[in-house]
Chain A
Amino acid sequence: MRTECARAAAAYAFALPRTPFSGGLGGERLGSGVGSSLEFMDFRDYLPGDDLRHVDWRTFARTDQMKVRLYREEVAPILDVVVDTSRSMAVTELKEQAARDLCGALDEWVRVAAGVRGARYWTCAGGALEVDALAFEDADGELAPRVPLRPRSLRLVLSDFLFAADPAPALRRLASGSSHLYVVQLLDPWELDPSQEGPRTLIDAETGERLEIVLDAAAIEGYRERLGRLRAGVERAVRSLGGTFASVIAGEPAEMFRGDLLRQGVIEPR
């Protein structure tokens, strides 16, 4: 990780969901399930085999019914990070560097976040990913990895979502069985706000498809409208799944971190 990125990332930590969540190994965070913490959660009828230490004897004395006290579990969240390693993520050097910075910073944030047992990184193609050896060479726009992610894990998706298919099904697959879904959309400044450059041959970074077009006001207006619909569609799908959506514009690390990532609660000040 670059020095300036590390310096900027040091001010933040990964923000776990405020609500209890399930999953993970035994840890420091209260989970949504039954566990062995000191925090009372509920009563239930005694079943043979229950720990007699958890029988509420006072209730038995009053009602002659054996009730067992249930306590919240304590979990250590696990994080699965799915990184879109398609070529579109490296369509410009700025965007590629921003993707590397985000992955590196995420690794740091997870490390310092309370109770998180660490993160695993996956490529869209399903392979394990080394953060230090990121390579954006995939041509496949499929977002959900083909290997099963860990149950009840926190899941964070980093992608530009610049593919023609509807992202909602992929996001549903990612959210299925997860504790919480974070979606970070990374865009290059030119992708967000292209300039009027006149006649150009546009080449798709993933398919190699070409389009000769005049980048004039009308063409850019149409592009912006379609991009806006795409971003709104992604955000709507994430919200409907109860996830967190943040849109990041590639740039200097400090600029990126204090933007939508902070506002939407993906990270929090340390």
Chain B
Amino acid sequence: MSFATPLGLIALVGIPAVVALHLFRRRFEQRRVGGLFLFAPDQLRATAGRKRTRLLRSASLLCEVAAALLLALWLGGLAFGVSSRAVHVVLVLDDSVSMSAVDEGRSVADRVRDEIGALIDDLPSDAFATVILTGARPEILVGPRELASTVPGAIADWRPWRAGHDPGSALDLGVELAGSSGQMWFFSDRVQDAVVPAAYEVRALGVPGDNAAILAARRHRTKEGEQLFADLSAFGVGAITTSLSVHAVGDAEVKTLATREITLADGKPQHVAIDLPKTTAPISVQLGDDALAVDNEFLLFPQPERPVAVAVTLGERAKAALELSRVLRALPNVYEVEDAEAAHLVIGDDSTGSRHELRIDATAEESDTWLGPYLIERRDPLCDGLTLDGVVWSSGRREMRGFPVVLAGEQPLVTRDGQAERLRLELNLDPLRSNFATSPDWPILLTNVCDHVRSVLPGAVEPNVLVGGLLRWRNERGTDRSDLQLVDPFGHERPGRGLDLVTWRARYPGEHRLVLDGKEHARFSVNFADAHESDLRDAETRGREAEIVDRPERIAERVDTGRNEGRLLGLLLLVVVALDWFVLRRAGGRP
């Protein structure tokens, strides 16, 4: 028994409440007398209004205090002896998307809710429960140790949304919270014997079935229009024939762009490319209905162009040697500007104080010429794709500021300074005496730098993300957008994390809106893609008992004991209430 239960505590308040009522609202049987002054004349005083009077130990008071105490004990879950420990059950719910698979109109999550409802009904009123959702970072949905009766309400809105993950960390957390006296159940759509250790009791409520899924989709602009690339897969006993349709989802209407019947071989991804007319509307890629609806649709917003303005302050000879104008024209969404103040990126031979700088300078008393090998920091995205094969690199022999990302021997050739918000990349390069500008590495490096600059431009960083990914919004520097709210497909708002770069973890598939003060600033599309979760062939309805922890019979025994005590308290409560009623009736409603 524990008075830590809210209902028990509330009922305890009844005792002082009853006493207060008897102190302030006492109504005795009245008797008219001729000589009131003969009765305790020193007690005579005005009786207007409520006032506290001496507490009388009347039968009614005793009955009502006893009733309040019994009610508190009942709600607190009084139990005697061994069974006095409150039952604590830990329910670990598989939060992966496959729990949303539907069979005969009911999802696995619905069946889990029913199962948990029945389980909670069988527990004593004072039982505690903890509900944990699996995930890379387990989430405690209820508890720890909340009243079990609160669980059905808490899981009513539960929507499994995560991609495939290891439930181990959630199970470990569940074992810790259950302790030695608790019981733990793991609810999933498959037992996963290999994943879930035998010490855990598993209730698998899945139904095996065929399912086709979109594993990836992307839009690509062409000169004439757009191309859609999609990776499809089927998970069934044999090949699955389904329909594939592509729609342009405008604000006012949905226009079908392409439709085709498609047969997918079992377990083998199929790449599909579809030519589409040019459109700025979101494109929806849909497969035909099957058990799991969430992997049948991909919503793709057009990629924002986010052009990068580049200013070159190098000398004419260096600029010509690096063929900067030609390279910049070749890069998509990059254009050259004259004014360095208006540029996002400044390429020069000296520091200009701009936000992002690419400094190319080999000024030194002595110089070296390198043929390789070059040591390249592959972890840095700026070096992505760089090989420097066949590059002759002429550099000045001098100290360089920042972290080296390309070295030749002990001489840094490229260093990086500053954080993402303020990139300063320095190339110790003499363009006139090097063939770096004629190698493929130069446009690659420049592309990487421009991509980096583009990634920190204000606005939505990537409009199409997968479930579990990050929705990112970059603020203008110096602006306070802490009130930005992400509105998910269910209309729930939640604030983001971060100041300059505000992020939200994408939980549910569908269209998300970014709003500030009621005004929409951006839209994101969150799509689900996980081949493991789309594969429902090994889903099953089965239970597996735990090998070590308490047997359900022991729980049932505790439950029965608690019920007996609850019945006894309930009976006593009824007797006391009836006695109080009888006393009050005899006294004509007065205590």
Contact = CB atoms under 8 A, between A and B. Distances in A.
Chain A: number of interface residues, binned into ranges: 20 to 34
A204 B47 CA distance: 12
Given A199-B591, A201-B30, A219 B35 contact: no
Contact of A200 (B29, B37, B44, B47): B29
Interface stretch (A12-20, A39-47, A210-218, A261-269): A210-218
8 contacts: A200-B30, A204-B37, A209-B36, A209-B47, A211-B36, A213-B39, A214-B56, A219-B40
Contacts of B37: 164, 204
Interface in A52-89: 88-89
A88 B27 contact: no
B28 A88 contact: no
B31 A201 contact: yes
B479 interface: no
B32 interface: yes
A122 B31 CA distance: 29
A214 B39 CA distance: 10
Interface in B218-263: none
B39 A89 contact: no
Interface in B20-76: 26-41, 43-44, 47, 53, 56, 58
Interface stretch (A26-34, A168-176, A222-230, A252-260): A222-230
Contacts of A223: 38-39
A214 B29 CA distance: 11
Contact of B44 (A88, A203, A209): A209
A209 B36 CA distance: 8
Nearest to B46: A209
Interface residues of B, number: 23
A162 B35 contact: yes
Contacts of A201: 27-31
Contacts of B34: 88-89, 91, 95, 160, 162, 188, 191, 204-206
Interface of B: 26-41, 43-44, 47, 53, 56, 58, 591
Contacts of B33: 88, 91, 191, 202-205
Contacts of B32: 91-92, 202-205
Contacts of A162: 34-35, 38
A211 B39 contact: yes
B38 to A, nearest CB: 5
A36 interface: no
A257 B26 CA distance: 43
Given A205-B32, A211-B44, 6 more contacts: A91-B33, A95-B34, A197-B31, A199-B56, A201-B31, A202-B31
A207 interface: yes
Interface in A172-196: 188, 191
Given A212-B53, A219-B39, A199 B44 contact: no
Contacts of B43: 211, 213
B30 A203 contact: yes
B28 A200 contact: yes
B40 A191 contact: no
A113 to B, nearest CB: 30
Contacts of B38: 162, 223, 226-227, 230
Nearest to A210: B47
A199 B37 CA distance: 17
A89 B34 CA distance: 7
A163 B27 CA distance: 26
A139 to B, nearest CB: 12
A222 B28 CA distance: 21
A203 B30 CA distance: 7
Contacts of A191: 33-35
Contacts of A204: 32-37
A167 to B, nearest CB: 12
A161 to B, nearest CB: 9
Nearest to B47: A210
A216 to B, nearest CB: 11
Nearest to A162: B35
A202 B36 contact: yes
Nearest to B60: A199
B31 A88 contact: no
B491 to A, nearest CB: 60
A237 B446 CA distance: 127
A199 B58 CA distance: 8
Contacts of A203: 30-33, 36
A164 to B, nearest CB: 4
Contacts of B39: 202, 211, 213, 219, 222-223
* 6 A-B pairs closest in CB distance: A88-B34, A162-B35, A204-B36, A162-B34, A201-B28, A210-B47
